[in-house]
Amino acid sequence: MRVAIIVGLVMSSLIAGAAEAPAPLTAQLPDGITAAAANLGPADGAFRLDVSFPTVRGCEPGQMDLQVVHAGLVIVGNDYTAETRARAYASRKAELDAIAAKKINLWSKFKETAAVFEPAFIAAYDKPELLDQPTFFTIASADDQRYATGLQPARVTRYAMPRGNFREFLEVRGRECTAGTLLANYSYVFLPQPMERGRSYTITQGDGRAITFLFHEDLTVSRALKVNQSGYAPTVGRKFAYLGAWHAGIGPLDLSAWDGKPFAVVDADTRAVVHEGRIALVAKDPTVAIQKQERSGAGEDIYELDLSPLQAQGEFYIRVDGLGRSWAFKHHSDAIGRAFWLHLRGLFHQRAGHELTAADTGWPRPLAHAVAYDADYAPESALSVAPVRPFNAIEAHIKAHPDQQEREPTGHGGVGGWYDAADFDRRWYHYDTIFDLLLAYELNRDAFSDGQAATYDAGNGIPDILDEVAFGLLIWRNSQNDAGGVAGHCEQRCHPNSLAAMPTGRPHHDPEKMFFSARTRGMSLSYAGPAAHLARLIAPVAPDQAAAWLESAKRAYAFGMDEANHYQRDDYLGSGKPYRESDELIAVTGCAAALQLYLATREAPYLERAIALYPTMKPHLKWPIKFVHQDYWWAFGDHPDLPRPIRDEVRRRYLDAGDQVEARTHEKFYRSPIDQRSPWATTWGKAAGTPDARALAMAYGLDRAAKFRDAIALACDWVQGCNPLGLSWTSGVGSNYPWCFFSGESEEDGIVDPVPGITVYGVTGGIPMGARRQGFNLMAYDGKTKVWTTLKRLQPDDVAVREDDLCPHLPYWRGWVMDYHDAPEMQEYTVNETISPCVLAYAALLEPGWMPGPTLTGMKPRDPRFIVGLWPTP
Ligand SMILES: [Ca+2]
Ligand SMILES: [Ca+2]
Ligand SMILES: [Ca+2]
């Protein structure tokens, strides 16, 4: 670890951007405000940021931040990670240089370096203790006479939490990479006098850092106001913004002064008021009981701002006297459209085995993983796990076949499908994504068109959302063998870069080969259903392609229905254990495939087979396979040939599920469809809310009830900003989104603004161990006693901490760690758990004929100065 090199990508880019002039305005400025005083962000991007940003002086850009809560309270952010590391290195330079010069293996060097450096860092990390002392801060104003001479705060409290990762050259990797936590300190500065509209204030700290900002309710965002940062659909009945704030580490911030007070919805261009309402209390610090533990849900008193009566369409913000404004949002079909488009982009950016060109995206990347080889391992599904897991199976296969040849001469068997997550595997679970896209299309056919996604799929006559389905299925079609069998897993022998062999974490730097799993009956039938479904949907516009998909589906079905092809091994890969592929998976996917082949061909034998298989399918449609929704298409639409009893039974089940989920959106909380009384943690993407909206979308597809559509919209609101953190959980969507998540491509593409369209797992209800040790406290590990010791508490004494690990007591939905190194379970994502459920939810609300405009299709990475999420709100 060469600790001297610490100025990361973010910092250098911020410096580079600082000299540019602010973008031109489209909106009128309020009287008496000049553009220079306001320091506005751009108004002409896909999301307008023409709100006032603070101006930082006296420290490295990016290491300081200011967030306004209301006229009497601002939150000053300070990050000392980089300078502390530099001082720590200087304090032990001779020892660290000596270790660096040693001829020992890299892992030993890493450990020896850490043993010297980490205590030095902890010793050097002293500034934060000043950050709750009123004498450390002076607030002055050139245009508010009350502050002419500079005043001290009435009160200051502080809090510390991780805000991302920094980058550093690591010899153990031989390159710069993400190495640790950016430690953010937040000082809650209670002002001695409330700020006045239109005045600028400078807070100067005892360490020489200073930050200047404007207070004006038309230009200054209050972080206590939460909106869907893309916006709301005019066609939806239930629309809300929220007011609430947590006094970090302490409890709900008292906002009762605004209870019953008016709010205005203001046109972002003309500043005309288009709607007025009154702020109303929803609940005082409501509790949740997720994981059977009753605790504060948001750490807030939650107030609502009812936007349901809003009639005007356009781009607006909410304004509240003495508080500030919200982020800009649309009340227009584009509000749904642009979020839908970006979620679909998330899949496009996860596409495997092909190049993303600069013509198609502002985040291009080269070709990778276009080749796949054959191996003989069992693909994993919800109903089958083999005794040897795929990584080990592939490793064994490589050892046994050192002369591995490409599967086909052209070598393009690896094209198609989506990277699962930060890793590059394509797997059976991705049929959930196929399902989401097919359902999206079936729900709302008139909303989807060719050219809508603005990629190279434009102009082929096929609605682009179905091109995405085709791309997802292509990997499996490419795996199809002469007998018709299809693989269900395309994997490598290890996670990317486990062997430290990649120059960066980007896909095209991955030297590991991809291997198809064995062709099994269950996987072939899993493929046959959606392939036939796709063929049916594109037949009117692309008959040749439809015929090819149908022919492939028929062959896969024939393979899957033939018992002679059953995959079984007496001694699976030398494990000494037998393996036999799951009969349950065959029953479930066989029935679904037969039904889809019937709907595509109207050939009676397929229907007869589907009806015969239904009784064997039904008992398996429970957890863990429930989420595959294999029986849904029996109930969707009104096919007179399908037996009425089956249709009614399936229909009832999905409507009941939809009713249960819809009921949750009436709880006195943020109206998400998430079960706030669930016995399970909100892991694996459930925190996004949109996975639960699948049940709503399916119910909506059956009876078109407005209550289901409205509840889907509330799920969209939750994931895009109507949540305690006021955060959009999707990169590129809205104003305030995660910037540092578990994606080698996004982290190492040289672009600060993250790859768009990625919805992270989010809050899981716990604080990951790594963040306890390096984010909320600084702990050291004794390799001899194997004990962790807290060397430095990062929280002040007045923040209640837990006895066992000194971590703060956090309300459930505040346990947010934007540090993928230490909290991968929050900063991971997958195409099927987070991205495609968002596509589906927004697709259900999309207006017929919607097309993106040029600011969206031409979307480029945001100037780092305006990446709000670099400093999350505590
Ligand atoms: Ca994976
Ligand atoms: Ca197309
Ligand atoms: Ca990036």
* SS3 per residue for 374-412: ECCCCCCECCECCCCCHHHHHHHHHHHCCCCCCCCCCCC
Distance 753 CA to ligand 2 centre (A): 28
Q: Is the pLDDT of residue 625 over 80?
A: no
Please provide the distance, in angstroms rounded to a whole number, between the alpha carbons at the two ends of the chain.
31
How many angstroms separate the alpha carbon of residue 449 from the centre of ligand 2?
Answer: 7
**In the predicted model, what is the mean pLDDT of residues 829-858?**
97
Q: Side chain identity at 417, as an amino acid letter?
A: G
| 621, pLDDT greater than 90 | no
Distance CA 530, CA 532 (A): 5
Check if CATH label 3.40.50.720 holds for domain 9-215: no
Contacts of 870 (CB under 8 A, 6+ apart): 10, 62, 65, 163, 164, 739, 864
**How far is the centre of ligand 1, averaged over its atoms, from the C-alpha of 527 (Å)?**
19
Greater pLDDT, 820 or 648 = 648
Nearest to 661 by CA among 652, 669, 671: 671
Tokens 């000299």 belong to which residue?
A: 19
**Which region among 72-81, 291-300, 395-404, 467-476 has the lowest average model confidence (pLDDT)?**
395-404
Distance 209 CA to ligand 2 centre (A): 53
Pair of tokens at residue 338? 């642009």
Q: Which helix (H) or strand (E) holds 129?
A: none
The Å distance, Cα 728 to ligand 2 centre, comes to 29
| 646, 684 contact by CB (below 8 A) | no
Query: Distances in Å between the alpha carbon of 195 and those of 52, 143, 146, 322?
Result: 15, 11, 10, 8
What is the whole-number distance in angstroms between the Cα of residue 751 and the centre of ligand 3? Answer: 4
How high is the mean pLDDT of the chain? 92
Question: Would the CATH topology of 9-215 be identical to that of 225-334?
Answer: yes
631 CB-side CA count, 13 A: 25
State what percent of residues in the chain have pLDDT above 70.
94
Question: Residues 638-678: pLDDT tens digits?
Answer: 899 999 999 999 999 999 999 999 999 999 999 999 999 99
The per-residue pLDDT for range 267-283, each reduced to its tens digit, is 999 999 999 999 999 99
Kindly state the tokens that stand for 756.
């768009």
**Ligand 3 centre distance from Cα of residue 162 (Å):** 19
From the CA of 839, how far away is ligand 2's center (Å)?
A: 17
Distance CA 68, CA 873 (A): 10
- Phi and psi at 787, nearest 5°, equal -125, 140
Comparing 256 with 36, which gets the higher pLDDT?
256
Q: Which amino acid is at 465?
A: I
Other CB atoms within 10 A of residue 769 CB: 13
CA distances from 633 to 10, 385, 655, 790 (A): 48, 27, 13, 56
Q: Which of 8-17, 224-233, 384-393, 768-777 has the lowest mean pLDDT?
A: 8-17
d(C-alpha 423, C-alpha 420), whole Å: 6
pLDDT at 407 over 60: no
pLDDT digits (tens, 9 = 90+) for 713-742: 999 999 999 999 999 999 999 999 999 999
Buried b (16+ CB within 10 A) or exposed e, 667-680: bebbbbbbbbebee
Residue 458: nearest ligand to its CA?
2
Query: Which class would CATH give 372-644?
Result: mainly alpha
Q: Do residues 581 and 565 make contact, with C-beta atoms less than 8 angstroms apart?
A: no
In the chain, the amino acid numbered 453 is A
Question: What is the homologous superfamily of the domain 225-334 according to CATH?
Answer: Immunoglobulins (2.60.40.10)
Average pLDDT estimate for 520-537: 98
Domain ranges of the chain: 9-215, 225-334, 372-644
Q: Tell me the chain's radius of gyration from C-alpha atoms.
A: 28
- Helices and strands, counts by H and E, the chain: 21, 30
**32 touches 836 (CB < 8 A):** no
The owner of tokens 């709907």 is 599
Closest listed ligand to the CA of 452: 2
> For 19-75, how does the pLDDT look when each residue is reduced to its tens digit (9 = 90+)?
444 455 668 899 889 888 899 999 989 999 999 999 987 666 679 999 999 999 999
- d(C-alpha 658, C-alpha 508), whole Å: 42
pLDDT in tens, 83-128: 999 999 999 999 999 998 898 887 888 888 888 998 899 999 987 8
Rounded distance between C-alpha atoms, residue 375 and residue 413, angstroms = 13
